[in-house]
Structure 1
Amino acid sequence: MTTADPALLYPQHLAVLTARADEALARSGREHLLIPSGRRHYQVFDDRDYPFAVNPHFKHWLPLTGVADSWIAYSPGRRPKVIYLQPFDYWHVVPEAPNGWWVGHVDVEVIRTPEEALQLLPGPPERCAIIGEANSALGSYVPDNPAAALDYLHYQRSYKTPYEVALMRIAQRRAAHAHRAAERAFRAGASEFEIHMTYCAAARQDATEVPYQNIVALNEHGAVLHYTELDRDPPAQARSFLIDAGASHHGYAADITRTYAADRGGEFQAMVEAVDRAQQAMCAGVRAGADYRQLHVDAHLALMGVLREFGVLRVSPEAALATGVSAAFFPHGLGHPIGLQVHDVAGFAASDRGGTIPRPDGHPYLRMTRVLEPGMVVTIEPGVYFIDMLLDEVKKNGHAASVDWARVDAFRPYGGIRIEDDVLCTDAAPENLTRPAFAD
């Protein structure tokens, strides 16, 4: 897989952002767009700060994720200004001098204290659209996140520029490399904690740098959708391994899930392969004009077909969907938008002027309801699980006859299966960003 040089793509990306900013300002009746990078949050009754999370709108403009109390100031017809905090500080590492592919395309002002930004921000504040967290307020410059501007900017973030896709490809490669290392650790008998540490070492990112908390689940733990406990000791017998883990590159996320069987010739491995085939067919459905809600419903039917094939279901996929039985085995959504944030914005947006598209009835956890368009990147992450509390609901709701409980008992010790790729919608066939990274 080849990746274009982000430095060469950045000028066009910046041109797209300034054009979007012009429109957002016009819609909100403001003259200037201000984006604070964010301020550090501190733990209550303590002087320890939480890991810094930069304002996603800030890193949309600049490949900077670690600079606090800095600002982007943009006025139509003028070059963006970056107000860059480089403090005098001997307690912490000071951000290095501004450098990289972005520097030559903006005006940079270096400040030594956060308050120095006040002399450099355009005004008056009430004529500015200030996009960010409330704690980023500086004097009279208080983030107000005008809805007309934010609805437009969030909606447009759905359409990734070539620059953004290039950064996401690099994140994919980093994550795929770490996934390979994690599988090797699993097959060598490592514990969940040891696999997690192996993953982070291979990704060369620690737990505060990966885009979300790693899910590393052995055996029955795979039935906990967001399992993050990380047992320090390996189980007496490792049967299965589910890992949902990503990586970041200049603020852009990869989100990948894989499931492995300890016994490569057993029935659970065969079920993993069947889910993988179904997942690849779902990825092929990421095409312009496809309704993501319908893809989600179709995923239920496909997964119930797998369970029927393996004797877990006694009824048709259609019957399992209609009665809610399918939701006991596949309780989450098919996926979500991804980019600057793992669960990226505007997944429900009706238009760039606001409004929401509702989820299908009976599917409360779906994270996207829009029709797919070129430039969107979404995850496709179907899963089947053997979750006791949900299976008990099937019995309570009078649908016990729909399930072969002896077959459930046979698969329960494996927890579940989830397989996830990140897929780019194009004008033609979809482009799976994840599979080529594994092939490399």
Structure 2
Amino acid sequence: MTLPSTVSALYPQHVVELQRRTALALERGGFDHLVVPSGTLHYHVFDDRDYPYAVNPQFKAWLPLTKAPGSWLVVTPGQKPKLIFLQPFDYWHVVPSAPSGYWVEHFDIVVIRRPEEALQHLPANVARCAILGEPQSTLDQYVPNNPVAVVNYLEYHRAYKTPYEIAMMREATRRGVRAHRAAERAFRAGASEFGIHLVYCQAAGQDLAELPYNNIIALNEHSAVLHYTERDVVPPRQVRSFLIDAGASHHGYACDITRTYALDAGQEFQAMIDAVDAAQLRMCDQVRAGVDYKQIHVDAHLALAGILWNFGVIKVSPETALATGVSSAFFPHGIGHGIGLQVHEVAGFAASDEGGTIAKPDGHPYLRLTRELEPGMVVTIEPGIYFIDMLLDEVKKNGHGDSINWARVDAFKPFGGIRIEDDVVCTEAAPLNLTREGFAEVA
């Protein structure tokens, strides 16, 4: 089945589900209408340059419009959702095309030419509206109030992706995989970090403003900087390794993929990459209904510490490395996060749709998701091993320097680090690995 027919078949039920959630959220908050501005352009202070436009996630959850600033969505339970679509008279910029496609029949659409024209189409009683957006989206008396009860409910349930949303993420993954393959070829051909970045954007068909996050393109030691985004324009004299953490978008949905490679001179480092890759696949298989995501994180520490022990980097058991914090020096971030409309999906710590927080495990401050997994959730699984001086120095200061074989650290440090990341769907049965599925298609 082709993508358009698949999407057109899945989209109606997606809208029905969002209407159901919205009705319950409004009831929780005591409102009659959900009003969602798409967002506006923001400008630099003391300048006439605008920041890249980013659509309101609460807006793009409903419809695949990511470049329609100044538009509004109105959802009233029992009525057809209304789209107030700004199509301005403008010869300085490209004007958004008139709404078309599989989704338009599910909305009452009003086209306006000036932003203030939206006022006559918004609900008359603003006090009965839950308005979700940024302060910059204020229009006359329609000021975003972001009521906590409504936001908590909608964001908590956004973790459960509809089949339509999974289809969107699968398409984002296909685009990302294609770009990852192009980036690997550029690396092996000797390109610089900046050159690889340009190749990636070209293959993805998206520039930096369209990608879901800033590409991490790191050669050699730069791979030890977790969010490295500097991109040298000249390749190093000796290229040893390459870490790429880069995604793509499709109609507002994100993919998040990381791979690590070594050249022939780093055969032992490649063996470590392969070991992390194998362990990562086992972690992906843990993405099952009823599993505590925190446990996957803790298990990842034990698995990665086992790899470090096998390669002679640490001299203590995985359990001891975890208990003493030694494993955190090599794996300092969380095992992953939710993903969907945002690359770091919201409500990762929510105890329920009424609020509350599920705490992170002690000693693991950077984990981004603490909920129990349920069918429909999509998460990343991204274990890593890095050789970071400041963290290794902390191990010495804390009195655990004898746990590490420093000669082995010195041998691996020029390669920076390793990270492997896939996007995985929790189902009623075995998990669905969107990333591996995407790579298998191009293989």
TM-score bracket, shorter-length normalisation: over 0.9
Q: Deviations over 1:371-401 (max 9, x none)?
A: 0000000000000000000001111111011
In structure 2, what is the equivalent of residue 373 of structure 1?
A: 374
> Residue type of the partner of 1:176?
V
The alignment partner of 1:368 has SS state of coil
In structure 2, what is the equivalent of residue 437 of structure 1?
A: 438
> Residue type of the partner of 2:415?
Y
**In the alignment, does 2:299 pair up with 1:303?**
no
The alignment partner of 2:437 has SS state of helix
TM-score of the aligned structures, taking structure 2 as reference length = 0.98
What's the CA shift for 1:123? 2.4
Instruction: Supply the distance in 2 between the matched residues of 1:64 and 1:75 (Cα, whole angstroms).
Output: 20
In structure 2, what is the equivalent of residue 278 of structure 1?
A: 279
The alignment partner of 1:228 has SS state of coil
Instruction: Supply the distance in 2 between the matched residues of 1:304 and 1:2 (Cα, whole angstroms).
Output: 44
Instruction: Supply the distance in 1 between the matched residues of 2:7 and 2:42 (Cα, whole angstroms).
Output: 31
**In the alignment, does 2:60 pair up with 1:59?**
yes
In structure 2, what is the equivalent of residue 155 of structure 1?
A: 156
**In the alignment, does 2:122 pair up with 1:121?**
yes
- CA change 1:264–1:405 in 2 (3 A) is closer
> Residue type of the partner of 1:292?
Y
What are the residue-to-residue correspondences of 1:348-387 with 2, within 5 Å? Answer: 348-387=349-388
- CA change 1:97–1:2 in 2 (3 A) is closer
What are the residue-to-residue correspondences of 1:16-35 with 2, within 5 Å? Answer: 16-35=17-36
**In the alignment, does 2:77 pair up with 1:83?**
no
What's the CA shift for 1:289? 0.4
What's the CA shift for 1:102? 1.0
Instruction: Supply the distance in 1 between the matched residues of 2:153 and 2:53 (Cα, whole angstroms).
Output: 26
Q: Which runs of 5+ in 1 are unaligned?
A: none
Instruction: Supply the distance in 1 between the matched residues of 2:303 and 2:28 (Cα, whole angstroms).
Output: 43
> Residue type of the partner of 2:269?
F
**In the alignment, does 2:193 pair up with 1:225?**
no
What are the residue-to-residue correspondences of 1:198-209 with 2, within 5 Å? Answer: 198-209=199-210
Compute the RMSD of aligned alpha carbons. Answer: 1.1
> Residue type of the partner of 2:262?
A
Instruction: Supply the distance in 1 between the matched residues of 2:347 and 2:266 (Cα, whole angstroms).
Output: 43
Instruction: Supply the distance in 2 between the matched residues of 1:323 and 1:72 (Cα, whole angstroms).
Output: 52
Instruction: Supply the distance in 1 between the matched residues of 2:228 and 2:125 (Cα, whole angstroms).
Output: 48
Q: Deviations over 1:168-198 (max 9, x none)?
A: 0000000001000000000000000000000
What are the residue-to-residue correspondences of 1:178-327 with 2, within 5 Å? Answer: 178-263=179-264, 266-327=267-328
Instruction: Supply the distance in 1 between the matched residues of 2:437 and 2:20 (Cα, whole angstroms).
Output: 33
- CA change 1:2–1:310 in 2 (3 A) is farther
- CA change 1:167–1:264 in 2 (3 A) is farther
What's the CA shift for 1:263? 1.6
The alignment partner of 1:190 has SS state of coil
Instruction: Supply the distance in 1 between the matched residues of 2:284 and 2:440 (Cα, whole angstroms).
Output: 17
> Residue type of the partner of 1:244?
D
Instruction: Supply the distance in 2 between the matched residues of 1:264 and 1:349 (Cα, whole angstroms).
Output: 46
Instruction: Supply the distance in 2 between the matched residues of 1:60 and 1:264 (Cα, whole angstroms).
Output: 47
The alignment partner of 2:264 has SS state of coil
In structure 2, what is the equivalent of residue 328 of structure 1?
A: 329
What's the CA shift for 1:5? 1.7
Asked whether the 8 Å contact 2:240–2:265 carries over to 1, the reply is no
> Residue type of the partner of 1:149?
V
What's the CA shift for 1:436? 1.1
> Residue type of the partner of 1:424?
V
What's the CA shift for 1:20? 0.6
The alignment partner of 2:110 has SS state of strand
Q: Deviations over 1:169-228 (max 9, x none)?
A: 000000001000000000000000000000000000011111000000000000000000
In structure 2, what is the equivalent of residue 165 of structure 1?
A: 166
In structure 2, what is the equivalent of residue 95 of structure 1?
A: 96
Asked whether the 8 Å contact 2:424–2:431 carries over to 1, the reply is yes
In structure 1, what is the equivalent of residue 109 of structure 2?
A: 108
In structure 2, what is the equivalent of residue 38 of structure 1?
A: 39
What's the CA shift for 1:265? 7.1
What's the CA shift for 1:18? 0.5
Instruction: Supply the distance in 2 between the matched residues of 1:322 and 1:315 (Cα, whole angstroms).
Output: 11
What's the CA shift for 1:74? 1.0
Instruction: Supply the distance in 2 between the matched residues of 1:122 and 1:102 (Cα, whole angstroms).
Output: 23
Instruction: Supply the distance in 1 between the matched residues of 2:206 and 2:62 (Cα, whole angstroms).
Output: 23
Instruction: Supply the distance in 1 between the matched residues of 2:353 and 2:120 (Cα, whole angstroms).
Output: 33
Q: Which runs of 5+ in 2 are unaligned?
A: none
Instruction: Supply the distance in 2 between the matched residues of 1:181 and 1:253 (Cα, whole angstroms).
Output: 19
What are the residue-to-residue correspondences of 1:132-151 with 2, within 5 Å? Answer: 132-151=133-152
> Residue type of the partner of 1:94?
V
Instruction: Supply the distance in 2 between the matched residues of 1:363 and 1:47 (Cα, whole angstroms).
Output: 42
Instruction: Supply the distance in 2 between the matched residues of 1:5 and 1:154 (Cα, whole angstroms).
Output: 26
Instruction: Supply the distance in 2 between the matched residues of 1:357 and 1:93 (Cα, whole angstroms).
Output: 45
Asked whether the 8 Å contact 2:240–2:266 carries over to 1, the reply is no
> Residue type of the partner of 1:425?
C
Instruction: Supply the distance in 2 between the matched residues of 1:67 and 1:222 (Cα, whole angstroms).
Output: 37
The alignment partner of 2:212 has SS state of coil
Q: Deviations over 1:14-53 (max 9, x none)?
A: 0000111100110100011100000110011111110000
Q: Deviations over 1:326-377 (max 9, x none)?
A: 1100000000000000000010000000001000000000000000000000
Q: Deviations over 1:266-308 (max 9, x none)?
A: 1001000000000000000000000001110000000000000
Instruction: Supply the distance in 2 between the matched residues of 1:61 and 1:218 (Cα, whole angstroms).
Output: 39
TM-score of the aligned structures, taking structure 1 as reference length = 0.99
What's the CA shift for 1:6? 1.3
Instruction: Supply the distance in 1 between the matched residues of 2:76 and 2:182 (Cα, whole angstroms).
Output: 47
- CA change 1:330–1:435 in 2 (3 A) is same
Instruction: Supply the distance in 2 between the matched residues of 1:6 and 1:340 (Cα, whole angstroms).
Output: 16
In structure 1, what is the equivalent of residue 7 of structure 2?
A: 6
Instruction: Supply the distance in 2 between the matched residues of 1:94 and 1:434 (Cα, whole angstroms).
Output: 35
> Residue type of the partner of 1:347?
G
The alignment partner of 2:179 has SS state of helix
What's the CA shift for 1:264? 7.6
